[in-house]
């Protein structure tokens, strides 16, 4: 007997489950089935995510996506009945480049127009607030106190539990290896040796987005790139409660967990595409050079673990969200290092598109068909 549904969602990561949740909440009785190749939800990119949420983007569309998502994070624990350890520590973006400083200044003007407070700090003020930073080569930085962290495990688990309460089915160990189409429309998928039929299929396969799209004959120029995270034992000089600090010139970032453990990384900008999350130890010396140049106390730091995750990046640095040329077949992914923080907005917008409602923002700049003349070399760096 073939299985049927109203909507099939491929991938039970934070994006797939957010889409399922928003669809189920909007339309009671909708039969939604999420197909996940792994044995549990949230086992893909979401499992490696460091949980940052920021408003500070040079692209106004990304600011809008955070503006839509942020209130969901604020009420997530109460609404989903699951803790996400939301902490409003802010983000501090540093630069020694006049061009980047000007970009930060313009970004802050845009944020101010949207009633989001962010301040431009001179190097001496940065040194006063964060004495563990080397600031000699800096021209300034931008600090937004609203930027935050939340626990990715809690968010994906909260979505999953709420989806189940709303009647969403989640099938594990069910890898989609075919998409059934006909007359330019999607009809269903082939997964785990069975056929599933539905008039709507949403591809939320994370780093596999482009591969799953190809099953429907759709070419999506998203590509998977590895990102390494260096876990370092707490350092007395670097207290918990400080903002996420990112050096825009080198990519290096510092994120301090509640217990003082440091998560560091961001210096692996020039890796080649690939789906293998194996750690590349040859990147360590370059990382250490950039990290200790910004935080000299890291000379004394003890790296306890290195792990790697995969982010799906697009040529223009924006995610992909919308219906493809195959009617009823949607893609939602390619959000790079922002897919977690924007998952609430992505879920809400996708649900609106599928149900024929007006979404909270015009998603056409994210449309899957927009890539005609850009190359992966243009991909966004932060
Ligand atoms: C090291 C690191 C740090 C990050 N930090 C941040 C951060 O601070 N803030 C932020 O916003 N973002 C961050 N990100 C990015 C964020 O993790 C991703 O954008 C987000 O998790 C993507 O969610 P997803 O649901 O699209 O993908 P995934 O979590 O990968 O989920 C996709 C799911 O699809 C399944 N799947 C794939 N193919 C198939 C198939 N054929 N059939 C069935 N199932 C399939 C996979 O098993 C997977 O479970 C980070 C990423 C990394 C790697």
Does residue 344 have its Cβ closer than 6 Å to ligand 1? no
Which residue has the least CA distance to atom 53 on ligand 1? 309
- A 10 A CB-CB count for 48 gives 18
Q: What is the pLDDT of residue 374?
A: 46
* pLDDT band for position 378 (cuts 50, 70, 90): very low
Q: Which residues pair with 33 in a beta bridge?
A: 8, 169
SS3 sequence of the chain: CCEECCEEEECCCHHHHHHHHHHHHHCCCCCEEEECCCCCCCCCHHHHCCCEECCCCCCHHHHHHHHHHHHHHHHHHHHHCCCCCCECCCEEEEECCHHHHHHHHHHHHHHHHCCCCCEEECHHHHHHHCCCCCCCCCCEEEEECCCEECCHHHHHHHHHHHHHHCCCEEECCCCEEEEEEECCEEEEEEECCEEEECCEEEECCHHHHHHHHHHCCCCCCCEEEEEEEEEECCCCCCCCCCCEEEECCCCCEEEECCCCCEEEECCCCCCCECCCCCCCHHHHHHHHHHHHHHCHHHHHCCEEEEEEEEEEECCCCCCEEEECCCECEEEEECCHHHCCCCHHHHHHHHHHHHHCCCCCCCCHHHCHHHCCCCCHHHCCCC
Residue nearest to atom 18 of ligand 1 (CA): 339
Give the model's confidence band at 192: pLDDT under 50 very low, under 70 low, under 90 confident, else very high: confident
- Å from CA of 135 to ligand 1 middle: 34
Task: Please report the pLDDT score of residue 358 as a whole number.
Answer: 97
- Dump pLDDT digits (tens) for 291-336: 999 999 999 999 999 999 999 999 999 999 999 999 999 999 999 9
Q: Which numbered atom of ligand 1 lies nearest the CA of 35?
A: 43
Q: What angle do CA 96, 100, 104 make, to 5 degrees?
A: 115
Q: Is the pLDDT of residue 207 over 90?
A: yes
Distance CA 377, CA 373 (A): 12
Count the alpha carbons within 13 Å of 333 in the hemisphere toward its beta carbon: 35
- In short, whether 347's Cβ falls inside 6 Å of ligand 1 is no
Dist. CA 130 → ligand 1 center (Å): 32
pLDDT of 145 reads 98
Give the global pTM: 0.96
The reported pLDDT for the residue numbered 272 is 85
Q: Are 353 and 359 in contact (CB under 8 A)?
A: yes
Query: Mean of the pLDDT values across residues 7-23?
Result: 98
pLDDT at 221 over 70: yes
The domain made up of 3-49+153-222+316-378 has a fold known as FAD/NAD(P)-binding domain (3.50.50)
Please state the φ and ψ torsions of residue 105, each to the nearest 5 degrees. Answer: -60, -45
Q: How far is CA 324 from the centre of its chain?
A: 21
Rounded Cα distance between 34 and 23, Å, is: 12
Residue 308 alpha carbon, nearest atom of ligand 1: 1
Q: Is the pLDDT reported for residue 373 higher than 60? A: no
Average pLDDT over residues 39-65: 97
**The predicted structure's pLDDT at residue 382:** 43
Is any atom of ligand 1 closer than 6 Å to the C-beta of 206?
A: yes
CATH among 3.30.9.10, 3.30.70.20, 2.102.10.10, 3.30.470.20 for 88-146+223-313: 3.30.9.10
Is the pLDDT assigned to residue 171 strictly greater than 50?
Answer: yes
Percent of the chain at pLDDT > 90 equals: 92
Task: Flag whether pLDDT at 29 surpasses 80.
Answer: yes
**pLDDT reading at 144 higher than 50:** yes
Query: Is the beta carbon of 335 within 6 A of some atom in ligand 1?
Result: yes
Report which protein residue has its CA nearest ligand 1's atom 38: 205
Q: Is the CB of 339 under 6 A from ligand 1?
A: yes
Strands 194-197 and 185-191: antiparallel
Ligand 1 atom with least separation from CA of 226: 53
Distance of CA 67 to the CA centre of its chain: 15
pLDDT at 77: 95
Give the pairing of strands 169-171 and 32-35. Answer: parallel
The whole-angstrom separation of Cα 11 and Cα 34 is: 7
pLDDT of residue 36: 98
178 versus 192: which is more confidently predicted?
A: 178
Residue 2 has pLDDT above 90, yes or no: no
Which two three-digit tokens encode residue 94?
Answer: 């540093």
124 phi and psi angles, rounded to 5 deg: -70, -35
Nearest CA to ligand 1 atom 50: 49
Nearest CA to ligand 1 atom 2: 49
Task: Specify the residue with its C-alpha closest to ligand 1, atom 14.
Answer: 337
Report pLDDT for 48. Answer: 95
Band of pLDDT at residue 372, cut at 50, 70 and 90: low
Looking at residue 88, its pLDDT comes to: 96
* CA 14–ligand 1 middle distance (angstroms): 7
pLDDT at position 226: 94
Residue 91 confidence (pLDDT): 98
What does the pLDDT look like over 232-290, one tens digit per residue?
999 999 998 999 999 999 999 999 998 899 999 999 877 889 998 889 999 999 999 99
Contact 309 CB / ligand 1 (< 6 Å):
yes
Q: What is the mean pLDDT of the chain?
A: 95
For residue 309, the ligand 1 atom closest to its alpha carbon is 53
pLDDT of residue 258: 84
Does any ligand 1 atom lie closer than 6 A to the CB of residue 250? no
Rounded CA gap, 229 and 352, in Å?
35
Output the pLDDT for position 381: 37
56-70: per-residue pLDDT in tens?
A: 999 999 999 999 999
Domain ranges of the chain: 3-49+153-222+316-378, 88-146+223-313
Q: Mean pLDDT throughout 182-189?
A: 98
User: How far, in Å, from the CA of 214 to the mean position of ligand 1?
Assistant: 18
């Amino acid at each position: 007997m073939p299985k049927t549904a109203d909507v099939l969602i491929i991938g039970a990561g934070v994006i797939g489950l957010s889409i399922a949740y928003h669809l189920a909440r909007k339309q009671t009785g909708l039969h939604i089935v999420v197909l996940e190749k792994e044995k549990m939800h949230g086992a893909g990119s979401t499992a490696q995510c460091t949980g940052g949420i920021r408003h500070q983007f040079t692209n106004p569309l990304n600011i809008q996506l955070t503006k839509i998502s942020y209130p969901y994070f604020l009420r997530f624990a109460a609404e989903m009945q699951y803790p996400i350890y939301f902490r409003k520590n802010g983000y501090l973006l540093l630069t020694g480049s006049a061009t980047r400083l000007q970009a930060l200044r313009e970004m802050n003007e845009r944020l101010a127009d949207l009633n989001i407070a962010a301040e431009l700090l001179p190097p001496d003020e940065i040194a006063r607030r964060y004495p563990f930073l080397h600031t000699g080569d800096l021209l300034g930085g931008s600090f937004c106190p609203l930027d935050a962290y939340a626990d990715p495990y809690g968010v994906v688990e909260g979505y999953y539990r709420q989806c189940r309460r709303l009647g969403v089915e989640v099938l594990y160990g069910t890898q989609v290896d075919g998409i059934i189409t006909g007359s330019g429309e999607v009809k269903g998928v082939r997964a785990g040796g069975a056929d599933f039929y539905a008039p709507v299929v949403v591809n939320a396969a994370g780093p596999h987005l482009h591969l799953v799209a190809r099953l429907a004959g759709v070419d999506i120029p998203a590509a998977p790139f590895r990102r390494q995270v260096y876990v370092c034992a707490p350092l007395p000089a670097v207290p918990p409660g400080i903002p996420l600090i990112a050096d825009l010139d080198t990519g290096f970032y510092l994120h301090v967990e509640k217990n003082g453990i440091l998560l560091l990384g961001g210096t692996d900008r020039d890796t080649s595409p690939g789906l293998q999350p194996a750690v590349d130890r040859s990147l360590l010396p370059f990382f250490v050079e950039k990290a200790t140049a910004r935080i000299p106390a890291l000379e004394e730091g003890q790296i306890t673990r290195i792990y790697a995750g995969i982010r799906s990046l697009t040529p223009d640095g924006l995610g992909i969200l919308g219906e493809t040329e195959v009617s009823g077949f949607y893609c939602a992914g390619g959000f790079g290092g922002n897919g977690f923080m924007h998952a609430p907005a992505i879920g809400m917008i996708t649900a609106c598109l599928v149900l024929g409602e007006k979404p909270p923002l015009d998603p056409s700049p994210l449309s899957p068909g927009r890539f005609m003349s850009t190359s992966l070399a243009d991909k966004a760096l932060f």
